[in-house]
Amino acid sequence: MKKRVVDHALLDNAKANKKDEFYTQLVDIEKEMVYYTKHFKDKIIYCNCDDPEVSNFWKYFYDNFEELGLKELFATYYGDDACFCRYNGKDMIREPLVGNGDFRSEECEEILKQCDIVITNPPFSLFREFVGQIDKNGKDFLVISNINAITYKEIFALIQANKAWLGVGFGRGISGFIVPEDYDLYGTETKVLENGDRIVSPNNCMWLTSLDNDKRHQPINLVKTYKGNEEHYPNYDNYDGINVNKTQDIPADYMGAMGVPITFLNKFDPDQFEIIKFRKGDDEKDLRINGKTPYFRILIKRKLA
Ligand SMILES: C[S@@+](CC[C@H](N)C(=O)[O-])C[C@H]1O[C@@H](n2cnc3c(N)ncnc32)[C@H](O)[C@@H]1O
């Protein structure tokens, strides 16, 4: 396998964030893909930030091509030697790209148009653009993202419109990323594997997808009650709804609007709740309780059975 060497000049040119050089481990890909195998049959999968020589996304789909019943596998990657790689189960074809493999380039967008599902871990600094392009072209996707992406206006709009939702691996459910050799191993959790791979475990990542999974059809078991505990569920100053600090505290007997933390989305079943709004009250200012603003809240409401 090729060594992960980062061309900093190229990255600086693209104003890329150093955090973009996080490579996904095969174990995390395998763990997530099992929930979607039925979606892959006869499909063209496109990994558009992936060099087949180092990408575990490519490796996973290449190695399991037949078992998954794929139609074709595409990859393009960013760099001086950018290529379009395609595999049909028999032959692997590499065609040089005219440009540098930027997913935003016309030639990469043309390739995107031919595929069914985009599956990768894209550069986080370009995440809005990345998902925006897929949505514009009406393609399915399954991608790794920072949990904070939920708070982006464009991403939240897709979640609210039921065009995107969370995958299964969330937070610590994604074990860590391989970082380049010159990457400083700092922060909470880092390790070096036996094979020399340097791993950083940020625990603030998740999968975002448009592919259905079983998790989003499992309603939350609501065990708390509002009646008799009203003091734990204060009303907002600028919205007709109550504040709930933890997803597990959502009361079973409250049918009005409730503000819940963004991690609620990890448990969101669209048959149980509807999403009303994000973060803002009727005055379009941040939700407030007695003048104080809790951390981002999503306003939700129970759906009537
Ligand atoms: C988070 S890394 C993940 C790499 C690979 N997809 C994986 O999961 O192992 C994101 C990759 O996107 C590349 N990249 C940065 N800007 C890009 C762009 N505009 N178009 C395509 N790829 C880009 C980075 O060089 C980096 O290799």
Domains detected in the chain: 2-212 (3.40.50), 218-305 (no CATH)
User: How much distance in Å is there from the Cα of 243 to the middle of ligand 1?
Assistant: 39
Measured CA to CA, the distance from residue 243 to residue 115 in angstroms comes to 43
In the numeric block, the tokens 């996904």 are attached to: 24
| Nearest CA owner, ligand 1 atom 18 | 102
| Nearest CA owner, ligand 1 atom 9 | 23
CB distance 83 to 54 below 8 Å: no
CB distance 222 to 251 below 8 Å: yes
| Nearest CA owner, ligand 1 atom 16 | 123
For the purposes of burial, counting CB atoms within 10 Å of the CB of 224, is it exposed (0-12), middle (13-18) or buried (19 or more)? Answer: middle
Amino acid making up residue 71: K
Measured CA to CA, the distance from residue 203 to residue 226 in angstroms comes to 32
Task: Indicate whether 117 pLDDT > 80.
Answer: yes
Q: Token pair of 63, please?
A: 């190695």
User: How much distance in Å is there from the Cα of 216 to the middle of ligand 1?
Assistant: 28
Task: Indicate whether 87 pLDDT > 90.
Answer: yes
The alpha carbons of the chain give a radius of gyration, in whole angstroms, of: 21
Residues with CB under 6 A from ligand 1: 14, 16, 20-24, 49-50, 55-57, 78, 101-104, 120-123, 126
Q: Would you state the pLDDT for residue 4? A: 57
Q: What is the pLDDT of residues 206-263, one digit of tens each?
A: 999 999 999 999 999 999 999 999 999 999 999 999 999 999 999 999 999 999 999 9
Higher-confidence residue: 258 or 12?
Answer: 258
Q: Would you state the pLDDT for residue 181? A: 83
Higher-confidence residue: 201 or 249?
Answer: 249
Higher-confidence residue: 19 or 39?
Answer: 39
Question: Could you write out the DSSP letters of every residue in 58-106?
Answer: HHHHHHTHHHHT-SEEEEE--STT-EEEEE-SS-EEEEE-SS---TTSH
Using DSSP's 3-state secondary structure scheme, residue 32 falls into helix
Shortest-distance atom of ligand 1 to CA 49? 22
Q: What is the mean pLDDT of residues 135-159?
A: 97
Q: Label residue 2 by pLDDT band (50, 70, 90).
A: low
Shortest-distance atom of ligand 1 to CA 22? 1
Q: Would you state the pLDDT for residue 18? A: 57
Q: Ligand 1 pocket test: pick from 17, 49, 146 the residue with the most ligand atoms within 8 Å of its Cβ.
A: 49
Shortest-distance atom of ligand 1 to CA 47? 6
Across the chain, mean pLDDT equals 93
Measured CA to CA, the distance from residue 22 to residue 20 in angstroms comes to 6
User: How much distance in Å is there from the Cα of 214 to the middle of ligand 1?
Assistant: 29
Task: Indicate whether 15 pLDDT > 90.
Answer: no
Measured CA to CA, the distance from residue 283 to residue 97 in angstroms comes to 50
Shortest-distance atom of ligand 1 to CA 51? 5
Q: What is the mean pLDDT of residues 15-35?
A: 85
User: How much distance in Å is there from the Cα of 34 to the middle of ligand 1?
Assistant: 23
Half-sphere exposure at residue 50, Cβ-oriented, CA atoms within 13 angstroms: 26
Report DSSP state, residue 194. T
Q: Label residue 3 by pLDDT band (50, 70, 90).
A: low
Nearest residue to 73 via CA among 94, 87, 92: 87
